Structure 1
Amino acid sequence: MRYWLLVFLSSFGLLSGQVPKTADSLKVYLATKPQDSNYVQALNEMAFLKVQEGKYDEVPKIIAQIETLTKKIKWNSGYYKAMNMRGIVEYSQQKPEKAMVYFLEAEKLIVKYKLPDKLYQNSLNNIMIIYNDMGNREKATEYAKKLIDFQEKKKLSPMKSAPYSQFGANLKFYKKYDEALVYFNKALAIEKELNSDWGIAIYENDIGNLYDDQEKYPEAMAHFKNGLAHAEKSSYKLLQTDLLINLARVQRFSSQFNAAEKNLFKAEKICHELEVTEPFKVLYQSLGSLYQQQKRYLEAERYFLKSLAIAKEMEKPEPLFTINHQLSELMQEMGKYKEAYQYLTASNVARDEIYKLETAQTTEDLLRKYEAEKKEQRIKSLAAKNKISALEVKDATRQKWFLIVGLGFLVVVALLIFRQSRIQKKNNELLQNLNTELDQANKVKARFLGILNHDLKSPLSNLIGFLHLQREDPELLDNRTRREMQDKTIASAEDLLESMEDLLLWSKGEMDFTPQTKPVKLAWVFDDLQKHFSHVGHAKITFENPGNIQWQTDEHYLKTILRNLTANAVNALNGTENAQVTIKADGKTLKVSDNGPGADDAAFKALYDPNETLGIGTGLGLHIIRDMAAAIGCEVSVRSEKGVGTTFTLTFP
């Protein structure tokens, strides 16, 4: 979805035949042509090419030229293009929130200068797509409806198919298949009106998947076949492989094994022509599934192993999980239980690394745990109350009988009353303690849920945005850009997983989990930090004197503390020239230093004050550092000087 957006943003409004699109021809154009509105268009196109090449630092200068020339020639659409391009730069660097600020400002410029309806149509479309990538389904749907109403009211041509697809995807998500089909068909009709074979192929593929989800295989097969015909007509080979694999899948479910095999081999041939690697993983796994269903086990194993080899080269957890899991099932069918166990173990390891599954499952488990603890506390409180009530009834009965016996037993009755008072007091204290525990559990739950909402929702939306892009518009990514986006996505996913790990460790501390101490070599910890921050480009991270230093501590707590300190240092260095982070060990001390702008004492209040509220304003990282350092008996101190930098010192016992 992202590169569909960027290409449209760049090319919209260009006057066909007047402004070139290649880098060399644009250079010639800008060096020879008069500085008019077409010249602004050419600058806009050049800026977009720089974005595609990942040369983001060169774009601001071009944007400044656009704004200067726009003001000179008084062509108001240029202001929109400049603001729009700023959004493109942020969005290309996986910063959808910052991009949204610029796109909303661009929308205001359209209204302010009464710019053409086509620009407004384009703006609504872009904002809708970004909201969807950010995971804000409600706002994305709101803008989709706004765009549909606008372009239908204005009778704009061509109409955008994306808002209809947005409604369809929403309805499919909630399993409202009939209603989803209506909107997918509307999107398909728009592409048909445009005679866009590749657009038709994309939506035929979506509709086929919709029927596949409902196990309506004949209908799914018909749409996959039609989509394949249009993909072949448009020479959209990468989409052809997707459609061939999807078609083969429903043919396999319909026991059309020969046809499925033929389509998969056809997809294999195309993949060889394109010299792509990753599609082979799904292709070979599909062939393995086809042969497994026919009980042709040796052929199934051969193709599954091919798929596994490619999955290992990809170094992504999800492909490793699916193929290892399927190999485990195949080995069970073949009676090879030892191999089945080995593949099952490998699939479980890969599954643990899948950030999306890990986050969703862990969150759900923790919520259930908190709810269970809450119910348990309530049960304990009720039990204590019932116990007190039972004692009161029992003692009241005793008093009644003693009074009947007579005044002679007044002394005994007085003693029993005194005893009852003591028992009631103890039970009241027990009840108070239980209520205190319940209140603390509720506070921990509220803090934890607040952290989850703040620290996980936005990164997940960014990652899901790129996955949508790969699924819906893969042809718009060249090999270099795809690798860059994949690297960024992997780094983002790994950071998210580490953040989740930090959250879990922090929650363990809140629930009185005890650190597991063992001898930990500092060199191991430094290696972990170096790998974890290998993607950092704007700051140099230096490690000093790990030597053979070894401490008796909890390895995971120490890693989490250092990751947070290093991440804080790296973030503080944004915009700093010759940015450096130094991590130095000396005896029982460990220092993390940066040459950033520094900060006052208030910025580190959460590190020392246990009563500081946990939230966005105080920073989760300092709370994690404070709580985990206390758990392993480590003393934390900080020295920060504005204009000089900040140093955190860890002192171990």
Structure 2
Amino acid sequence: MRKLIPLLLLVVHHFASAQTKDERVKIDSILSVYTGRSVDGKGLLQEAITLSQQSDDYLLGQLYFKLAEEHLATGAYDSAGKYYPLSLTPLEIAGDSTLLGEAYIGMGYVLYLKGDYTQSLNYNLKAEKIFRAAKANKLLGRALKRMAGVFIAMKDYGTSEKYLSEALTIAEEEFDTINIVRTLNTLSVIYDETGDFKKVDPILKRAIALAEAIHCIRCMAISYSQWGISLHFRGQYKEAIGKYRKEYELNKLEGLTFDQYFVYQNIAEAYFELQNLTLALAYSDSAMFLAKTENAPQFIHDSYKIQYKIYKAQNNLGKALAALEMKSQYVDTLFSQEKARMQEDMKVAYETEKKEQLITLLEKENTIKVLEAEQSKQLRLYLIVVVVLLVLAAGVLFSRYRLKQRTAKLLDAKNIDLQNLNQVKDRLFAIISHDLKSPLSSFHTVTSTLNQYYGQISQADIKKYLEKLEVASKSLEDQMKNLLEWSLHQISERKLSPEVFDLKEMAETLKSFFQLSLEVKRQNMYLEIEGSIPLETDREYVQTILRNLISNAIKFTPPEGTIWLRAKTAGAEIVIEIEDTGIGIASEDFSKLFTLEADKKSIGNSPEKGTGLGLVLVKEMIEKMGGTISLASELNKGTTFTLKMTGKQQKQAA
């Protein structure tokens, strides 16, 4: 096969017409104008590719490579992933190993962005082999740094650090200051991820000093941004804000207006952690303004995400729900734009394929006419050339087919994600429309009665009405809290955030919180806990779980009843029990308690009913923490809920 390649090139050259020479002149003219990332860079390269369809394969490989780089620079990763493979075969035939290695790096980066780390490593390893053989050290350092990034994504920090160490050595030997700065920034990411923070600050100080020495303002801004993120990760939010503001000043000096979006967003997150919600909201609004100015749906979505958290922390439930709804709408927008872009890319690929097929057909017809006039020896030779051309065409068509298959799978995955999100929204609004209606109706009835008959109602009756209002408001508050927690849990925004706390102290705090409700119903609540029980897990999750279970026990236990909260250690497990002397639950109703689909109003005979969302939330939370919940109950005698969980849990990745 390799022996036939030179013969193929000779045949193509032999039959090149004067028109083809003119096309080559036009292509060279376009390449002399094109400088990379130009206003119409993609259009210029597409025109050159059209002109070069009958030119030599090496030139076509160059053009596909440049077009792939153009798409990669503008963030069109799927399109870049389409054109890199088209460049590989012509570059392999031409034997330009250096440019082929750069194409391998580009293809590896696209696969890295798509999460296909195995294939990404394969392409980068090919590039490394080429650059080592060619002793192209600067490009070798680039390939090593890209491989290190893949290993970071795979959580293999030891291997990643090894590649970065070699990349840094090469950059220092080549006096490649910019790559030294970039490698140092990447090293700081490893140390952040492994918790080796004492190495982060010296590395980033060195990166900033080098960037300042070569007057690379953009490099300094990136280093300050990485430093701020590192401090943020350590919980040093005030110091992180200082680094973010340094980044802001450098971006302003460089005229990078839209890069300030990330500064505003990071500062808003830091102020949120500091509980300075006013400043957090102000910076979030600034980020939102830039995102909307640039009409960037992904960043608008992220801005609504932090605003939802801020409004929720302010207990501004109306605006919190509005922000949550807007965030969901931009999920839909992002999907629609991605789908439209992919359809356009497929259309371009299809049109290019048709043109290539037509040109291939014309080339075969011309070749056949020439071969008929040649001697029998030449005829056999040219027939072999035609076969080679057909094999190459089949390879291109097969590559197109594989690309279309991957695109279809991606569209199917996006559709499934959208359907799941719509199901969550439907369940959320069903609860809002049905289960919040009762307490709101009670509010309206009581306030309307007080307003119309105020002068005729005795003080004793007024007190009864106020008690009803208190019950309705408490019910509404509990349901809204559960609703917000459940909705956040469903869209997977809430990650486990372990901290160390004492279970006994939390139990005593909860007992004080419910003391008024216990006194109103003349109930007793006893704590039976074996001294101090330290836990290292998500405090807010545990508090929400216990609050819901105690609230249910109070609600479904008659006046003068008794409630017990017990806790003990059993090996590595913590066992918590909430027992009451309430109305109990029939065994056939056990399975209905932990699903939203079942009608909770059909369970039991208590006049106090709820949405059932509390127990659903409890089950989802305890399972997310790796624990279990079970119950034992007997009608008219009481119910016992039992929780089991580990005393220490790892923090989930965001």
- Give the TM interval when normalised to the shorter protein: 0.3 to 0.5
More relative contact order, 1 or 2 (CA 8 Å, 6+ apart): 1
Larger radius of gyration: 2
TM-score by length of 1: 0.44
TM-score by length of 2: 0.44
